Amino acid sequence: MSYGTTTGASAAAAQQRLANATKASGAIISVRPEDFITILNKIEKPLIVTSVSNFFGSKSYRYLTAYKGLIFYTKNNEPMHLPSKAELIEADKIWIPS
């Protein structure tokens, strides 16, 4: 097997893993933080998954919720003020297929 074939096979395998991850998670819709809050306010008791990532000292706050069968995602440089009626699940990491 040549080096080019191995690289091509690795790229194909990575693409297949990404396709499988997308199928498993369904459609994830990225929205602006203000639109995410608007969606949360439409839900009687929203369930929100949160995580904080730290990349070279810069924090990023990530949020996921489901609404009408769709999954919405946002990230912000500052913690967001979430509705008090929300149930929060703190995850170690939120990974979104790109």
Residue ranges per structural domain of the chain: 26-90
Query: Comparing C-alpha atoms, which of 71, 79, 74 is closest to residue 32?
Result: 74
Question: Would you say the pTM of this structure is higher than 0.75?
Answer: no
Structure tokens at 35: 């639109």
Name the CATH topology of 26-90.
3.30.720
Per residue in 3-38, pLDDT tens? 454 566 766 666 666 556 555 556 899 999 999 999
Query: Comparing C-alpha atoms, which of 28, 34, 9, 7 is closest to residue 97?
Result: 28
